[in-house]
Chains A and B, each alone.
Chain A
Amino acid sequence: AQSVTQLGSHVSVSEGALVLLRCNYSSSVPPYLFWYVQYPNQGLQLLLKYTTGATLVKGINGFEAEFKKSETSFHLTKPSAHMSDAAEYFCAVSSGGYQKVTFGTGTKLQVIP
């Protein structure tokens, strides 16, 4: 069984401030972990993913996430928020590249000018 918990359904940051979106996972096998972004009335766009290897993963738009096995976490960060980062972000887990993906409940990021 696998699950994802995203802490904080809403996060507000000032433009230029650090973005930190939290994700904890549960998986009985080594996980594949993903972050997706969804803009209003659109589908999901893959920001980054962790499969194996380097635990710090860099994605698009300046985002990165670090896989911490001891903490079962995969938090998403960006050093400096832009207005265009305002969207909903979903963390997801699967037990392998071709396995079912389970999504978290999402975190809506608001960027304040």
Chain B
Amino acid sequence: GAVVSQHPSRVICKSGTSVKIECRSLDFQATTMFWYRQFPKQSLMLMATSNEGSKATYEQGVEKDKFLINHASLTLSTLTVTSAHPEDSSFYICSARGGGFDTQYFGPGTRLTVL
């Protein structure tokens, strides 16, 4: 139980384009989803927290207009990186909590490369 998937696992895009990453809870209803960013050889940095049906709460320093988060259902959250630039290249990981679990369960991550 408590499986979280992400799609795509890897994406390469040109500078200036937008990229959407999906995060799904497969076997539980995720009332809360989290989006993290991980730079090479570094820890996870929380970008934002989203509750189903509500606006996401962004961490300090994270541009909400650049990283659009939608949590429209109890099993799906999306992160859209708008007008991506090379410095947005990173490993993006989502996690989900809900279904009576007080622990976050993590997706496998998405490697974004912006050329």
Chain A residues within 8 Å of B, Cβ to Cβ: 34, 36, 41-46, 49, 51, 90, 96-98, 100-101, 103-106
Q: Are A43 and B109 in contact (CB under 8 A)?
A: yes
Tell me the minimal C-beta distance from B33 to chain A in angstroms: 13
Stretch of B13-21, B43-51, B66-74 lying at the A interface: B43-51
Which applies to chain A's interface (DSSP): helix, strand, loop or mixed?
loop
* A103 contact set on B, CB distance < 8 A: 43-44
Task: Give the number of residues in B that approach A within 8 Å (Cβ atoms).
Answer: 21
Which applies to chain B's interface (DSSP): helix, strand, loop or mixed?
strand
Q: Are A49 and B93 in contact (CB under 8 A)?
A: no
CA separation between A90 and B93, bound complex, in Å?
14
Q: Are A97 and B43 in contact (CB under 8 A)?
A: no
| Selected contact of A42 from candidates B97, B105, B108, CB within 8 Å | B108
Chain B residues within 8 Å of A, Cβ to Cβ: 4, 6, 32, 42-44, 46, 49, 91, 93, 95, 97, 102-109, 111
CA separation between A100 and B32, bound complex, in Å?
11
Most buried by A among B44, B49, B105: B44
* A106 contact set on B, CB distance < 8 A: 42-43
| Selected contact of B97 from candidates A41, A98, A105, CB within 8 Å | A98
* A49 contact set on B, CB distance < 8 A: 103
Subset of 18 A-B contacts with CB under 8 Å: A41-B91, A41-B109, A41-B111, A42-B109, A43-B6, A43-B93, A44-B44, A44-B93, A45-B106, A46-B106, A49-B103, A98-B97, A100-B46, A100-B49, A103-B43, A104-B43, A105-B43, A106-B42
CA separation between A97 and B93, bound complex, in Å?
20
CA separation between A97 and B31, bound complex, in Å?
14
* B46 contact set on A, CB distance < 8 A: 100-101
CA separation between A105 and B104, bound complex, in Å?
18
